[in-house]
Structure 1
């Protein structure tokens, strides 16, 4: 997927979301930032194709979302996931409380998917 510069409003909103991140997003970011997860580089709150994704690893084409209860069986999230699947991304979703109570398990799960995606390339 070629890189397209996102609209200024999306960039501004993503920046605001980085400042106003949830506790779970901040915890996971501390584990992912600076290539801390086995050298995989992540970006956070990235405007991508009209959406803002919580975390993305472009090398593995993996998107990680950290969600609260408002995302339970949300049709908009299903459409978004389908869009990114068509673009070759895999989407992982975790609940806020899962990240807050089992950060190591979440990171292990993410790492497993990262390694699998890199092997299949």
Structure 2
């Protein structure tokens, strides 16, 4: 059975897709439409009470685009533990890195994707 998040989470995720930050929009432009070696990504996905910036379910990779406020965040550590327990890997990239080195960010993501053995 497919996961059905609460309506409030679905609405929040929809709003976040519409109001994407510049770094999120930049990364989405690079990931959408299976542009990264055919890997499918979804963005702003509500799951387990959280909203994931980007996720590729087949290789179980979550990509979070973060600003300084996320540095060593206890909330993020708890959140990550929930998904790691389900077999996901989490890759955090900085806003500034996305804006100044999108090619390098994509290469890092691709390296993580390849390391999962999926594709």
Per the normalisation by structure 2, the TM-score is 0.96
Aligned pairs, number: 119
Q: Where has structure 1 moved over 4 Å in runs of 4 or more?
A: none
For residues 41 and 98 of structure 2, what CA distance do their matches in structure 1 show? 17
Does 2:32 match 1:13?
no
Question: Over aligned residues, Cα RMSD in angstroms?
Answer: 1.3
What corresponds to 1:107 in structure 2?
106
For residues 98 and 32 of structure 1, what CA distance do their matches in structure 2 show? 16
What corresponds to 1:78 in structure 2?
77
Deviations 1:25-45 (A, max 9, x none): 000000000000000000000
Aligned-pair distance for 1:118? 1.9
Q: Please, which runs of 5 or more residues in structure 1 have no aligned partner?
A: none
Q: Please, which runs of 5 or more residues in structure 2 have no aligned partner?
A: none
What corresponds to 2:63 in structure 1?
64
